[in-house]
Amino acid sequence: MPPIPLAEVYRMTPPTPGELERKKYAEIRERTVKLASTLSVEDCCVQSMPEASPVKWHLGHTTWFFETFVLEPYEVPFKPFHDAFRAMFSSYNASGETHPDAERGLFTRPSLSVIQDYRRNVDDRMHRLLGLPAREEMLCRLAVLGLNHEQQHQELILSDIKHLLSRNPLKPRYQMQGTQLFAPSVPAAWHSFEGGLLQIGYAGEGFCYDNEAPRHKEYIQPFQLASRLVTNGDYLRFMEAGGYENTALWLSEGWDWLTEGGHSRHPLYWHYEEAQWQEFTLSGVVPLQAGLPVVHVSYYEADAYARWAGARLPTEAEWEHAASREQVEGNLAENGRFHPAACDAGRLAQLYGDAWEWTQSSYSAYPGYSPAKASAEGPISAVWDRAVGEYNSRSMVNQYVLRGGSCATPLERIRPSFRNFFPAKTRWQFSGIRLARDLPEPEAPERGNP
């Protein structure tokens, strides 16, 4: 009889406060395994492009994080599962340089079954460690960071496997659930927001990444946001109007990307076959639905579309100001669709879920930012600094901010202040477009004669 998953054990009896952390750990770790459970061994080994990683590497890397940053400083005695894994599944080599991502698909060994053993071994050790009656605060902070890191890779598994399966002539399905069969086109409206000196950045007591802080003031001019994301039908009209041939619509670098890189002149997973546009999804190839949000477009394409539409992309401050008024809910990973959905009319919709929304904001530090540091000096604080170094400060160059999450983003991972970031050429993520435009400030009334 197979062992009962840890998350199921906790469902059988109400957990004590000390068990809640272990329950959350078990649930998130088991979800990663579930995402990979429908894939073949061969699916998990192949790397389809340098920017993506094999599923097998994701499974090993997320486990390496817990072994390196939680077990190594706190487990007594500590012994790694395999010495070679400490470099093989690391993001950085001994000199602090990133491993070349393009070579991860060469790791035919260890086998998938060995990596699954590695995960089970580290999970058992983490379960014991989190169950200790006296634990340091830093241990818990590192575990929470590791779980957020795991959720990040859950999303990457879905985007990476979608790209891999799309390259297969069989166009195989990741899942059998179909996309929305009919999506009515909802007319877009404009929602107005006053400008002013506004607070931007994370506000709360829970977890956030260091790039979401410090909370600070930014001056915003009055602006408008479109009520919904740009749809496939909207984008198809841009294509039919010659949007990909009109150099006046494109940034110079974007035009070079388009013409010299040999990129398709349509979103990444669109294909024109049998006299109709079709779209590859994680549920296979389906007819293109005009009313669904367009996804898998680069920053260059989003910016060109906005110019064609007589609008622009929002700044991240504008987006956060609007989104902070809305409930964090939408078509996120928990729905299991892993594809955008149609929106309701008459409201500011799709701010959370469906598609990451490109902003015109370059990814950089907020005023007063410093990389997250431990509260005390010593060996453990050095571990914290290394773990946080996996993230943000090293990436603050040549990238743009995206907001709002997508249909592949776990609900717990998203909040109004969350900042995603990718290079402008990125298309394999679930990235889409929301339009913005300036709203003239009302003229001050004329003053009478004294």
pLDDT tens, per residue, the chain with 450 residues: 444 343 443 343 444 545 778 999 999 999 999 999 999 999 999 999 999 999 999 999 999 999 999 999 999 999 999 999 988 898 765 555 555 678 888 888 999 999 999 999 999 999 999 988 767 788 888 999 999 999 999 999 999 999 999 999 999 999 987 656 567 788 899 999 999 999 999 988 888 998 999 999 999 999 999 999 999 999 999 999 999 999 999 999 999 999 998 899 999 999 999 899 999 999 999 999 999 999 999 999 999 999 999 999 999 999 999 999 999 999 999 999 999 999 876 689 999 999 999 999 999 999 998 776 544 455 666 676 667 665 667 788 899 999 999 999 999 999 999 999 999 999 999 999 999 999 876 665 555 544
- The secondary structure of residue 68, as a DSSP letter, is I
Tokens of 330: 């939408």
Triad 399, 419, 70: Cα angle to 5°? 105
Tokens of 368: 């007063």
Task: List, by residue range, all CATH 1.20.120 domains of the chain.
Answer: 6-166
The CATH classification number of 6-166 equals 1.20.120
**Residue 330 phi/psi, 5° resolution?**
155, -165
User: For the residues of 356-398, what is the DSSP string, one character each?
Assistant: EEEEEEE--PPTT------SS-SHHHHHHHHHHTTSSGGG-SS
Q: Which positions ≥6 away from 37 have C-beta within 8 Å?
A: none
Rounded-to-integer distance, Cα 243 and Cα 230, Å: 15
Rounded-to-integer distance, Cα 276 and Cα 424, Å: 29
Rounded-to-integer distance, Cα 147 and Cα 136, Å: 17
Instruction: Please measure the distance between the N-terminal and C-terminal CA atoms of the chain and give it in whole angstroms.
Output: 92
Beta strands 436-438; 190-193: pairing state: unpaired
Sheet of strand 431-432, all strands in order from the earlier edge strand to the far edge = 420-422, 400-403, 356-362, 431-432
Judge contact between 25 and 5, C-beta under 8 A: no
Count CB neighbours of 329 within 10 A: 11
The CATH classification number of 190-438 equals 3.90.1580.10
Task: List, by residue range, all CATH 3.90.1580.10 domains of the chain.
Answer: 190-438
Alpha carbon 204 to its chain's center: 21
